[in-house]
Amino acid sequence: MTKKAFRGLFLCAIVGALLFRFVRLDVRPMHHDEANQAVKFGDLLERGEYRFDPLDHHGPTLYYLTLPAARAAGERALAGLGEATLRAVPALFGAGLLLLFLLFSGGLAKEATLAAAALAAVSPALTYYSRFYIQETLLVFFLAALLGSGWRYAKRRSLGWALVAGVSAGLMAATKETSLILFAGLAAAFGLLSLVESLRTRHRGVVTAGEAWVWRDTRTKLPTLFHFALFLGAAVATVALFYTSFFQNPHGLADSVRAIGASFARAGHPGVHAHPWNYYFQILAYSRTAGGPVWSEAFLLFLAAAGGIAALGHDAGRDGSPRFLRFILFFTVVTAAAYSLIPYKTPWNMLPFYLGLVILAGNGAALLLRISRFKLVKILVLAVLVPGFADLALQSYRASFERPADPANPYVYAQTSPDFLRLVEAVERTAAAAPEKKDLLIKVVAPPEETWPLPWYLRTFGRVGYWTSPGAALAFTGAGEPAVVIASAAFAEEVGAALGEGYDQAFYGLRPEVPLCLFTKRGP
Amino acid sequence: MTKRFGWIAIAAFGLAALAPASGAQDAGKEILKIALPKPMFVGTPKNIRTPNLETITGKPRGPFMVPVGTALLSLGKPVASSDKEPVIGETAFVTDGKKSGEDGYYVELGPMLQWVQVDVGKSHELQAIVAWHYHSQARVYRDVVVQVSDDKDFISGVTTVFNNDHDNTAGLGAGRDKEYIETFDGKLFDPKGVKARYVRLYSGGNTSNDMNHYVEVEVYGLSAK
């Protein structure tokens, strides 16, 4: 492949990724988790306050990296922020991920890099969660940065790449405490690679040249002690910077260590998020509900399997490295196994090992293209690959634009129903007709899991109170008679009886199975 | 006449003079700002994709008393619908006596306001109408209106048995009945013995999607003599 062709096609992949990630970012109602993050970010935006919470919310990078986006949009308060501004942050990192694939050059053949970038651009999973205001896409981006800079370092052993790798690792840790699993996965992959290569060295007589391992024309080097110390220093400094809220909260660093314990506790007691070991692969392989379309990334899984098997051989393409591919293979297998064995599962948690699948699938696609020298065979392979890529793109479109909140969509998880937006509209209408306008009193009476994303959608209202039981809410009379009461279905009867006949009552869907009851005071 | 205008003018001046005085009285005051409780942060809620038959609220429906001789009139009776081509299932499902919440037992009509109409054959004294829209998931159907009539086109002699369309979205008049969550025991409407041959049930989407569903409708009454 010529450089020009590579550049042109890679640019097409980038443009595709940008379109899939940035168009109509507000098409889906805010998810419970997104609203949580957004309101938390509001404190940082409005008051410059951020304190790491070791029990929830993961790491601080998402909030700090949203600051430039909010400021670029000219917003200084949560009330002025829109979903699109917030979601633009993961979208940007989701599209930027493709550029990081360029760091794999020398490890991944040009054709494989291109195929991996195209797969990442149209991947339903990567696209859907790149449009989701949570930490996962950032974590995947920093993981790819660590893999890429680590590979560059292994090739050149330069101080700069050691520092970049350290900062990337630090950013991973500052994004999600579960990055510990990924660090363990990277270490395990390195161990497995060393083991496999030492066996091969004995059997096949591949020699080492000085400090370098030699594998065909690919030389990779182990880090020097000084560089390793620099890597660690950069990682720790990055972690310290973010978790201490840029030295405003010194306890944050200790809290980040405590958070690891909380995460492990959650992993062991998954509650409503307990899913079988094959949950992630089931989502990717095949999903269909009555009357709905088929969802499947089996094409990507097939290519990843082909690319993974090929990684165990010698052929990595003219400019690829079996060592790099094996490392990715081992990392993917180990982390996929770890995530699958942990009972606590949410679909976005699969993204880190999904990145490995995408890289391997890129290698698989390139392998199929070079399997024969005959042009006719290549055309036939392309005839299979192109519809496969197109099918993924179509599924991506369906997942992110056509059915972004449909429970039949396998990437949808505890998503807010579009019907909920009707509740918000009804509250807006009531406020528009009320003399107090947006300062009318709103009482929300619902358990916390049935409260979100109300705080996000009610962010422009002046007087909103949240109670978790009807008794406390109804006993609170200091602010006057509420114009609007939003109650969970379980409290609707009690709240309705207490409010009396002066209120209209209507139900709206928060999520499947979770209706909320809206009481609006009738006009005089 | 002139005298009356004079009094009006005096009253108007008086009010005008009072207005700034009221403002002056409020000048030393301000609205009491009471801090309201903030929302509690909590992790990802439960994801629900599989059906269940659990009720969210409410107690089991108590016994409903009907005159001796009341019988089920609707079983296997013809059903008409506003949606001539249902999205899923057939209108015959509405009176086939099968009330399972699973797929394959309900008819799905299109979005917006839709109706199904049961013809019980002759005019009967109706004692109870029970409807199951869709009970494998806790959801609420909007603008539920139940009407009965001897006129199959529901133009004359229409009696409204139930109406929870409080803002008259359906255009059948605003109702004051409450919305309710679908459960496996269905919703019972009391026609109070009104005589009718046709029973029509309207709905306008639900809290989970815009479609309209019917698993079963049962019409009970006294056999016509």
Close Cβ partners of B165 (under 8 Å, ≥ 6 residues apart): B142, B143, B144, B145, B172, B173, B174, B175, B202, B204
How many residues in chain A? 524
Q: Work out whether the CA dihedral A40, A42, A45, A48 comes out positive or negative.
A: negative
Q: Which residues of chain B have pLDDT under 50?
A: 1-2, 11-25, 50-58
Angle formed at CA A335 by CA A333 and CA A337, multiple of 5 degrees: 65
CB contact under 8 A, B46 and A449: yes
Question: What is the average pLDDT across A71-92?
Answer: 96
Query: Pseudo-torsion of CA B123, B126, B130, B133, nearest 10°?
Result: 40
Ramachandran quadrant class, A144 (left: phi over 0; alpha: psi -120 to 50; beta: rest): alpha
What amino acid is encoded at A318 in this protein?
R
CB nearest B56 (choices: A455, A490, A505): A490
pLDDT tens digits along A392-439: 999 999 999 999 999 899 999 999 999 999 999 999 999 999 999 999
Between A214 and B34, where is the model more confident? B34
Measured between beta carbons, the chain B residues lying within 8 angstroms of A492 are: 57
Do the Cβ atoms of B178 and B96 come closer than 8 Å? no
- Smallest CA-to-CA distance from A39 within A25, A53, A28 is with A53
Measured between beta carbons, the chain B residues lying within 8 angstroms of A408 are: 49
> Considering only alpha carbons, which residue of chain B is nearest residue A287?
B49
Please give the Cα distance from B202 to B200 (Å, whole number). Answer: 7
Which pLDDT score, from 0 to 100, does residue A389 have? 97
pLDDT tens digits along A467-504: 999 988 888 877 788 999 999 988 998 999 999 889 98
- Smallest CA-to-CA distance from A164 within A147, A188, A140, A184 is with A147
> Considering only alpha carbons, which residue of chain A is nearest residue B103?
A290
CB contact under 8 A, A413 and B41: no
Whether B40 contacts chain A with CB within 8 A: yes
CB contact under 8 A, A509 and B34: no
CB contact under 8 A, B47 and A513: no
A212: buried, middle or exposed (CB in 10 Å: 19+, 13-18, 0-12)?
middle
Whether B48 contacts chain A with CB within 8 A: yes
Output phi, psi for A465, to 5 deg.
Answer: -120, 150
Identify the residue whose tokens are 């493709």: A98
Which pLDDT score, from 0 to 100, does residue A365 have? 96
Question: What is the average pLDDT across A273-288?
Answer: 94
Please give the Cα distance from B175 to B172 (Å, whole number). Answer: 9
Which pLDDT score, from 0 to 100, does residue A290 have? 64
Angle formed at CA A319 by CA A317 and CA A323, multiple of 5 degrees: 75
pLDDT tens digits along B162-210: 999 988 999 999 998 888 888 888 899 999 999 999 999 999 999 888 8
pLDDT over 90 at A383, yes or no: yes
Q: A241 vs chain B: nearest CA distance in angstroms?
A: 25
CB nearest B42 (choices: A266, A449, A465): A449
Q: Which positions 158-187 of A are in contact with B (Cβ < 8 Å)?
A: none
Close Cβ partners of A458 (under 8 Å, ≥ 6 residues apart): A424, A427, A442, A444, A464
- Assign A316 a pLDDT band (cuts: 50, 70, 90): low
Which pLDDT score, from 0 to 100, does residue B25 have? 44
Measured between beta carbons, the chain A residues lying within 8 angstroms of B87 are: 291
Which pLDDT score, from 0 to 100, does residue A261 have? 83
H helical segments located in A370-501: 375-397, 420-433, 454-457, 470-475, 489-499
Do the Cβ atoms of B132 and B194 come closer than 8 Å? no
Between A57 and B189, where is the model more confident? B189
pLDDT tens digits along A175-187: 998 899 999 999 9
- Smallest CA-to-CA distance from A506 within B55, B61, B183, B204 is with B204
pLDDT tens digits along A21-49: 999 999 999 999 999 999 999 999 999 99
H helical segments located in A269-349: 279-285, 298-311, 322-341
Q: Which positions 60-119 of B are in contact with A (Cβ < 8 Å)?
A: 87-88, 103
Q: B28 vs chain A: nearest CA distance in angstroms?
A: 20
pLDDT over 80 at A382, yes or no: yes
Pull the structure tokens for residue B76: 């296997």
Output phi, psi for A214, to 5 deg.
Answer: -110, 130
Mean pLDDT (chain A, rounded): 91
Which pLDDT score, from 0 to 100, does residue B33 have? 60
Q: A407 vs chain B: nearest CA distance in angstroms?
A: 6
Which pLDDT score, from 0 to 100, does residue A478 have? 75
Which pLDDT score, from 0 to 100, does residue B59 have? 59
Please give the Cα distance from A363 to A356 (Å, whole number). Answer: 11
Question: How many A-B residue pairs are in contact by the CB < 8 A criterion?
Answer: 126
Which pLDDT score, from 0 to 100, does residue B26 have? 59
Question: What is the average pLDDT across A184-195?
Answer: 94
Q: A443 vs chain B: nearest CA distance in angstroms?
A: 9
Identify the residue whose tokens are 């959608």: A457
Identify the residue whose tokens are 């992993």: A267
Please give the Cα distance from A448 to A31 (Å, whole number). Answer: 14
Q: Is the pTM of this model over 0.90?
A: no
